Amino acid sequence: MTALQNYTKRFLEHLEIEMNRSLRTIESYGRVLCAFFAWGNLHIPKDITADKVREYRLYLNRKGNGRGGTLKKNTQAYQAIVLRTFLKYLAKQDVSALAAEKIEIGKTPDRQVDFLEFAEVERLMEAAEGTSLRSLRDKAILELLFSSGLRVSELTGLDRHHLNLDKEEFSVRGKGGKLRIVFISPAAKTSLKRYLDKRSDIDPALFIAYGKTGLVNTKNAKRESKRLTQRSVQRLVKHYAKKAGIGKDVHPHTLRHSFATDLLVNGADIRSVQSMLGHASITTTQIYTHITNERLKEIHHSFHAKRKGKGSK
């Protein structure tokens, strides 16, 4: 094991223990660092030079993404952030290496936020109507995603005992292990109750997989739960969006964006939305203000157009 590999191992352990980062984040950081070290044939911290970093960023900027294009600027910026975080860690360990401040992230394009209009949300929910156990499950999933703004990983991680339908709220552990309160709308409560009342199994998972003749995940007999996977929820959302005649590329995260946008448009303050989404920084939540500002502009124009019409009579 090279010195850099050893420091990387310690750094990833630091992210897990002291920083309480998710397993997915830790694996992602590890891949980014390993790719850079392998590309540059780097073995010790002093091998990381400003010139080497610049060459690698130029390489990334010109690298194909396998779909006829190049890597997104946000993806490139993320790799720079990972390297800078690693260098900050080395500095705290008194390891001589390139100063983290030498790496500039650069400006990245504003994030594109896709969301559904309220009429589209209603069509999506109507598309999942039905009395079968699978239909009731799907309706409950869609209603809960829009009602709560849950991430798909948070949704699939829920167990039945997590819910409190009487109080219409429950706790969920999100990114970084942060706990937050999630609220259930009356529509989501009704859908969840109908789904749970019809279930006769003892599986602890809130949402489980069904096939045409029962549970589909029967290949692995060692599995204690038939818990629905994130990929299954993604396919489910896309299926009902298509069924509802929605032309947009709809994902579970689209419903999270729709939840946040709906709150802001209807008067919620951004700090409250930040809390309900579980964002660590208000900056992340502010991506929605661009949308709501456009909505307010439309309302303003609509209102003044009416006043102009009245005045011209």
Q: Which residue has the tokens 């789904």?
A: 195
- Given 160, 175, 194, 199, the catalytic residue: 175
Asked about 210 being catalytic, the answer comes back as: no
Asked about 67 being catalytic, the answer comes back as: no
How many Å is the Cα radius of gyration of the chain? 24
Distance CA 250, CA 234 (A): 9
* Alpha-carbon 70 to chain mean position: 23
Helices and strands (DSSP H and E) totals, the chain? 13, 2
Cβ atoms of 133 and 198 closer than 8 Å: yes
- Given 151, 226, 227, 257, the catalytic residue: 151
Distance CA 313, CA 302 (A): 18
Distance CA 208, CA 201 (A): 10
One-letter identity of residue 219 = K
- Given 21, 226, 227, 279, the catalytic residue: 279
One-letter identity of residue 136 = L
- Given 134, 193, 194, 253, the catalytic residue: 253
DSSP bridge pairs for 179: 173
Distances (CA, A) of 272 to 116, 180, 276, 285, 297: 21, 12, 6, 10, 22
Helical pair 118-127 and 133-148, crossing angle rounded to 10 deg: 160
Q: What angle do CA 219, 225, 226 make, to 5 degrees?
A: 60
Asked about 288 being catalytic, the answer comes back as: yes
Cβ atoms of 238 and 255 closer than 8 Å: no
Asked about 243 being catalytic, the answer comes back as: no
- Given 139, 189, 256, 257, the catalytic residue: 256
Distance CA 157, CA 148 (A): 14
Choose among 121, 178, 177: nearest CA to 144. 121
Which residues are identified as catalytic? Answer: 151, 175, 253, 256, 279, 288
